[in-house]
Structure 1
Amino acid sequence: MQLGFLVDLHLCMGCKGCEIACKVENEVPLSTWRLRVKYVDVGTFPETKRTFTPLRCNHCENAPCERICPVSALHYLDNGIVNIDKERCIGCAGCIMACPYGAIYIDPETQTADKCTYCAHRIASSMMPACVVACPVEANIFGDVEDPASDISKYIQRHTDVQVRKPEKGTNPRHYYVGASQAHLNPLASRREEGYNLFNKITTLPVGGHH
């Protein structure tokens, strides 16, 4: 078994229901996140639109965070989940530096590493991850990618535009996206026009409606 996650960005409407459900279920401090929904603005005015990209741990088949952990706090479960034992973690932050996806953080309350675990505690009780349950448009598809009869495997088979983040890193991520552009997957694909300074534009506006 190899559990994986797929997000259909054609369906995601950026409601952040998954993000809130994750925080509530896992008691994630407000200053940190296991799951974050990134806003991505694409196009050129006036033809622009706002799209959304949920970001979480990719549960890589070749996870650098698991290899670098000196105390085996990060470890694989039999179902492929990259889990974390906060009792073993010494807070060295090696995993944070090793992760190419920025998916790991230091819990400000426990001073130990934390991240998305696909709600491993729920999976052990035959329940779906909290974010999957919370999504009102069923944009999150979760299941065994090695089972051809699973929903996620069928979804992958039906779509030709299935992508992962940073495939060149060789981590073999088990988190997939449908309907993603480079602006969704690669932060460096976005750019800001040269010469545009919003602060200067605001400060030169007339005060009180008078010139």
Structure 2
Amino acid sequence: MTTILIVEDEQRIASFVEKGLRAEGFTTLWAPTGADGIFHATEGDADLIVLDLGLPDIDGLDALASMRGQGVTTPVIVLTARTTPSATLASLEGGADDYMPKPFRFEELLARIRLRLRAAAPVEQSAHILTHGDIALDLKERTIRANGVTSVLTAREFALAETFLRNPGAVLSRAQLLSRVWGYDFDPNSNVVDVYVRYLRKKIGTDRLETVRGMGYRLT
């Protein structure tokens, strides 16, 4: 059974989320402090983590950094009252897979949890084919097939497509895409990511790469 770890100091919110998730068939764990959350995360007790940033002992961003620093790859959804763009970007750059502001609707949180769990599932692939839905990326030929059409990719288009296909459903910031496709030394103020996303959309369909305003892009 899938276990969701809720790192949240407000018992009322944690109980609300736990009740809803259990009704949907999930098992839940509640960690009221960052230290408890880090312990359960590093022990591998959860399949997904819902993380508040305003924790009583340590900041949620520090807890997230500790988890990722200890090799925890479990999907993390930040659920917080911090709604500034800087908090959103800091969370995503720090290793969060998604970000939801409070107050929130449980139905939306549930949908995001299910999406993150699907994205974390092993990607279907053969020896050299990476797939997601009806999109197939040939790692050998460097071609992509979508909507029944096969297209040849440039080196950068290929690297960008591979990054999205290895992280389906995850929101990838421009900075993350720059570092993975172009390298850390590339100018962070460049619009090259947007340009190549536009190129890739022409080959797989404009609706396949969703723009998440203020955050980045994701493969739907």
> For this structure pair, what is the TM-score category when the shorter chain's length is used for normalisation?
under 0.3
Structure having the larger proportion of residues in helix = 2
TM-score between the two structures when normalised by the length of structure 1: 0.24
TM-score between the two structures when normalised by the length of structure 2: 0.24
**Which has the higher relative contact order, 1 or 2, with Cα contacts under 8 A spaced 6 or more apart?**
1
